[in-house]
Structure 1
Amino acid sequence: MLKDYLPWIVAGVVVLVLVVGGLVLNRVAPDTTATLRRRPRPPRDHFRSGDDASRAPLKRAGIVINPTKFADLPGVRERITETCLANGWGEPLFYETTVDDPGRGQAVQAVGDGVDVVCSLGGDGTVRNVASALVGTETPLGILPAGTGNLLARNLDLPVALEGAVAVALTGRNRRIDVGELVVGAAPMDDAPDESGAPETHYFVVMAGVGMDAQIMAGTNENLKAKVGWPAYMVSGLKHLVSPEFRVSVKVDDDMEFRRRARMVVIGNCGRLLGGLVLMPSARVDDGQLDTVIASPKGVVGWVPVATRVATRRRKGHPTLDHKVCKEIRVRADRPLPLQIDGDVVGEATEVTANVRPGSLTVRVSL
């Protein structure tokens, strides 16, 4: 009897084993179908090789140009563009300065356009105006020298050749430097009411001065400067060598105010002049201080020790050249005097106050 049901019993046991085994395996083994279903689908561009959509956007430079410095502006633009492309950057954006806006507005626009570095292509005046828009920001300034003096570039040991300067602006390291803040008032020394209006605030990265140095800047022949370069300033300097003296009252930081007779007062963020001359040997662009020189030589002969002191780069010298190091200085004159800021004569003033803004400007320098 049992023999008759044995095949059915074996078949039932086999089916039972298969069912139980299937349930066990279903609990232990992962649901690969569900796993594949839950896996996020790669983006469409994931499988594309060399497609522009998979690349990071190229960096771009904004070039603020003073067009009066170039006879072949299209050629200059082409050279800059080629250098940018050769260094792995995108095509630069160009902005031209105008008489009404010599650089600040263009730099603001460049930052708004999202450039990675803003470059000034012109003289020290263009550098100053472009820098004034970048003070206190993280956007670096690239300096492309195209002026007569190029003093900030020389003090930072930057290349003067266009392609080399562009390469440094794109691939150099960032360096934080100080900026001078100059408040121009017009209150005379007897504290009479100011009738000239609200004080004006300017930034300078090289030097600002009243008196003879501003007269030299104002008296330099532009045609001669275009032909011979910086020696044109020397010609103007000889004409103003015996400029009229003026009386100044000077207050340095928290010290007592003192008075001097002077022919010029120069407040500097850096000290190197044209032709390798150094007016302020201890001045550094990142020392958190300003250097001031008050020159009061008597006649032509009185300039000899001053010139010797500048040529030998001595910090201390003749008594007619007073040197002060400070964070703030106020100079008040007995009459309106011509005022220059980084080589640009901006008018006349009877009172100026200069403060240092340490490390407030980022500049691209050589590695």
Structure 2
Amino acid sequence: MNFSDGISGLEWLAIIALVLAFIVLWHLILRALAHARHRQEEISAINSRRNDPAEYAFIVNPSKPGAQQITEHILAFCRAQGVPKPLVIETQLDKDGEACAQEAIARGAQVIVAVGGDGTVRTVAAGVEGTNHPLAVIPIGTANLFARNLGIPLKLDDALRVALSHGSRRVDMGCMSLPDSHRAKDRHGHGFLLISGIGFDATMMATTDPRLKGRMGWLAYGVTGMKHLFDRKQIGTIAITDRDGDVHTFRDVQFRTFLVGNCGAIPMVSLMPEADYSDGLLDFELLDTDGGIIGWANLAQDLFYQTIWGRSGKRLGSVGSTVDHMQGTHAEIWLNHSAYAEVDGDLLSQTKHVSIEVHHRSLIVRVPRKPAQFGVSTSTSQSVSKSEQ
């Protein structure tokens, strides 16, 4: 008598589910242990860093809770570290982080420090990009995805130690432009550091109540997204230029959302596991669903599969969902109907035409690792420039 003769089909399913659950749990435990070990190494590296007595400018988003107290703490911390009194420039409705960064550089600042959430960091980075001035980040936002992806500490004093000391790496920036827009800024392009998109993701951001986001953080987008699960799909033509310069054109493509990533990780999910901040490539991912709520459920499982196994693509046997992934340096999208676009969660206009490109290693960022690991000079902007030329 075979062992399997005494086990029903449902029991086999239960055993398989239990084994899969154990594999997932073991994977998560290993990731947590690795993160804790990495965190301990980061703290040790931060404490051993040498202060850089450069001219600093802190660009602060005053709308963030406790921004005034944080600014006072920053100034006191600089005094205690013997760092020259820094400039403090606040963003305003008519002066974003990009304009503030340009002003800071014009006033002689050598290191530009963004104090805010991902939106503030993105606009400040746009003003620093290509200048050979290092960008530092003090994350005080809701998600702080850029800081998390680069390992920049979320604790204020640890982040300040990284900002005020030697140790940088070069990273890529993406740029999304809307060629048909009446706004000059849209046509010129919006820099981004994280993940941008067209379609469902941008619609969620356009329709999410800011008060709900203030209470729930990123979960607010999920609540709002439920209302748009069965909106009309996007239809259009997508042309992607790969690393070798070859253009791949896809016509009459239907999709829920088209994502472009400079990094791939958001809370709890890795949308683009192969994404790398410094590879000179952007990761493009087209997501689609069919079959009603079942298709969305399968898409969620596919994204979870990516997160667990660290590679893009669908699960074996997955139906009703599409996860198409490609890397490249440039993409053009022409839509049959206007759709919302977004960069790093900041909403842009509705558009039918989007152009996206990568700016390779165009931004210097202070990070909490030993500079030798990244091949970047440990000094301020002037000598960084020499080492990179």
What is the aligned partner in structure 2 of residue 268 from structure 1?
261
Look up the SS of the partner of 1:303 in the other structure: helix
Q: Structure 2 matches for 1:355-366, cutoff 5 A?
A: 355-366=357-368
Distance in 1, matches of 2:102 and 2:56, equals 13
The partner residue of 1:244 within 217, 232, 255 is 232
Shift of 1:80: 0.7
Q: What is the one-letter code of the residue matched to 2:149?
A: N
Q: Does 1:60 align with 2:58?
A: no
Shift of 1:256: 3.5
Shift of 1:172: 4.7
Shift of 1:290: 0.3
Q: Structure 2 matches for 1:318-329, cutoff 5 A?
A: 320-329=322-331
Which residues of structure 2 form unaligned runs of 5+? 1-51, 370-389
Q: Structure 2 matches for 1:60-209, cutoff 5 A?
A: 60-70=55-65, 72-186=66-180, 196=182, 199-209=187-197
Shift of 1:173: 1.1
Distance in 2, matches of 1:222 and 1:307, equals 25
Distance in 2, matches of 1:61 and 1:243, equals 47
Distance in 2, matches of 1:326 and 1:184, equals 19
What is the aligned partner in structure 2 of residue 189 from structure 1?
none
Shift of 1:111: 1.0
Cα deviation digits, residues 49-99 of structure 1 (max 9, x gap): xxxxxxxx94332111111112x4331111111222233312221111111
Distance in 1, matches of 2:106 and 2:295, equals 52
What is the aligned partner in structure 2 of residue 281 from structure 1?
273
Look up the SS of the partner of 1:301 in the other structure: helix
Distance in 1, matches of 2:157 and 2:206, equals 32
Look up the SS of the partner of 2:190 in the other structure: strand
Q: Structure 2 matches for 1:304-323, cutoff 5 A?
A: 304-312=297-305, 313=307, 314-317=311-314, 320-323=322-325
Q: Does 1:303 align with 2:272?
A: no
The partner residue of 2:209 within 221, 224, 238 is 221
| Structure of larger gyration radius | 1
Q: What is the one-letter code of the residue matched to 2:56?
A: A
Distance in 2, matches of 1:336 and 1:200, equals 19
Shift of 1:197: 7.0
Check conservation: 1:172, 1:366, Cα contact below 8 A: no
Which residues of structure 1 form unaligned runs of 5+? 1-56, 187-194
Look up the SS of the partner of 2:148 in the other structure: helix
What is the aligned partner in structure 2 of residue 350 from structure 1?
352
What is the aligned partner in structure 2 of residue 291 from structure 1?
283
Distance in 2, matches of 1:74 and 1:211, equals 37
Shift of 1:196: 4.3
Give the aligned CA root-mean-square deviation in angstroms. Answer: 1.8
Shift of 1:305: 2.4
Check conservation: 1:83, 1:167, Cα contact below 8 A: no
Distance in 2, matches of 1:307 and 1:87, equals 47
Cα deviation digits, residues 237-296 of structure 1 (max 9, x gap): 22222222020211111234112101111111110012x211000001111100011111
Shift of 1:158: 1.2
TM-score, normalised via structure 1 length? 0.78
Distance in 2, matches of 1:320 and 1:236, equals 22
Q: Percent identity?
A: 35
Structure 1 residues 177 and 214: CA distance shift in structure 2, 3 A: same
Distance in 1, matches of 2:216 and 2:336, equals 36
Distance in 1, matches of 2:67 and 2:312, equals 43
The partner residue of 2:223 within 228, 235, 251 is 235
